[in-house]
Structure 1
């Protein structure tokens, strides 16, 4: 597997990345509220895909904001959330799990939906049954389940080929818990909660 490329940015760009992450998170919440208000509508698939794009991009920006702080401006040129998360030291991963457990307990429901869409001129047909269901029991589960969501969702229409099903995850409660956990970690790292617990900048 090819190693992800790193780029060097001014260290203070972590603030811009965090502000963008928060903005995309806010937009995601607005979309989730819109979907909840129209839950009986059959025309919400585009909103759910748009939610996937905004929330996964928010997660990427949070991860990169934290990485920029910890590595003196160095950050991975990567969209895969799990690849970025895998570069975090153990104390940060443990803190993310603690944050995630806290936020998941506060969630009213912890369900998810998988939207299946196809575009075919032929007769109706059932989607394949080999879709791997997402897992959200832990923070790492959540990151793995949404790891490639940004890349897969942003040009979803391009994958709409005849008689092939395409799938999109909609899981506002666990994804919100994941994003809140990252927001918490950014604050914790910035105020120095992890000082001396691992070698930064490596």
Structure 2
């Protein structure tokens, strides 16, 4: 973070392993990575000008099960479809619906219990909200998170979150941390 001008954390990082990764705002516990292959980390930095970032990635620290792979790829597909729909004039609820429908079609609809994203800048949560009921419209210059998630109670959770700038013709993803499933597999920890 410091290499790119960050000088501190934007908020207390959220770290969950296995079942605690199924809690969208998990607190660190005593579970070891070797006990479960899913590690969820939500963190952000503060720029020299005071602007925040917000990013979530899931790291697979062992051999992923078919269920872990399906959940991860479903969340990624939902995020990519939502990002592709962001443009000035689009309704936040319409973009939320795109992601939510893909997750529901994969059989995980009841496991996505929060809005798709929020605005941020000098504060980590600012007024724009992407949710099923939001009537807000995207405008050029807005900076938002896009963070679909699937949380399987007592098992694991997957959330992929990126920062997105609404441009005059669409949007631009500002985060560059890899998000593909294969890149999330970081090895086996004993």
TM-score range, shorter chain: under 0.3
Q: Please, what TM-score do these two structures have when normalized by structure 1?
A: 0.26
Higher strand proportion (structure 1 or 2): 2
Q: Which protein shows a greater Rg?
A: 1
Higher helix proportion (structure 1 or 2): 1
Q: Please, what TM-score do these two structures have when normalized by structure 2?
A: 0.27
